[in-house]
Every structure is written in structure tokens, then in C-alpha cells.
Amino acid sequence: MIKPLGDRVLVEASAKEEKTASGIVLPDTAKEKPQEGTIVAVGSGSLNKDGARVALEVKVGDRVLFSKYAGTEIKYEGKEYLIMKESDIHAIVG
């Protein structure tokens, strides 16, 4: 088990096919292109001004688009994951 801290999430990145699982084709331009993946674990949220936790917007199982330069790679029980901040995630797709 991997439990991300704070406003971090654990993401399993999709294989980088030209046409991804949810039907989003990433265009070939100069702008940064997001990558697709699935949320595997979520942190307990960031702190608000009173020191209470604010739940994240994404939940386990969500398919998400995120900055392709986001996160830290780890390998756990044979699978590769990314740990990133929720703010690196652009949108939920599906």
C-alpha cells in the first residue's frame, strides 16, 4: 500500500498510445500535452487556514489528464506509478 501525503495523489499512467483509452487523441503541436492515467490512491487533502483537511476533488478510479512533466516516479510490486500534487491534474475524463 502507498498512501500519498497531503494534497498528493498516486497515478498509474496509461500507455502512451496515439489514441488513448478514453478516446482522447493528443494533438501534435508546440504546446505542452497532458498525459492520461488513473487515480490509484489519494492523500488526506491540504490544510485550510484552521489546520483542517480539505478533501481532494479526485477519487480512486478517476481517469485524469495531468502535466506530462508532473510527479515523481516509483515502482511498486512490479507496476510503475507517479506521485503528484492534485494541482498537477487538469481534468477528469470519461
14-33 footprint of a second copy as x/- string (CB under 8 A): --------xxxxxx-x-xxx
Q: Is 13 in the site for a second copy (CB under 8 A)?
A: no
Of 17, 59, 60, 94, the one binding a second copy (CB under 8 A) is 94
Stated as kind and residue range, the H or E segment containing 53 is strand 53-54
Stated as kind and residue range, the H or E segment containing 37 is strand 34-42
Other beta carbons within 10 angstroms of residue 75's beta carbon come to: 8
For the chain, give the number of residues.
94
Q: Is 75 in the site for a second copy (CB under 8 A)?
A: yes
Q: Is 61 in the site for a second copy (CB under 8 A)?
A: no
Of 7, 8, 12, 73, the closest CA to residue 39 belongs to: 12
Contact positions vs a second copy (CB under 8 A)? 1-6, 8, 10, 22-27, 29, 31-34, 41, 44, 47-52, 54, 57-58, 65, 67, 71-77, 80, 83, 86-87, 89-94
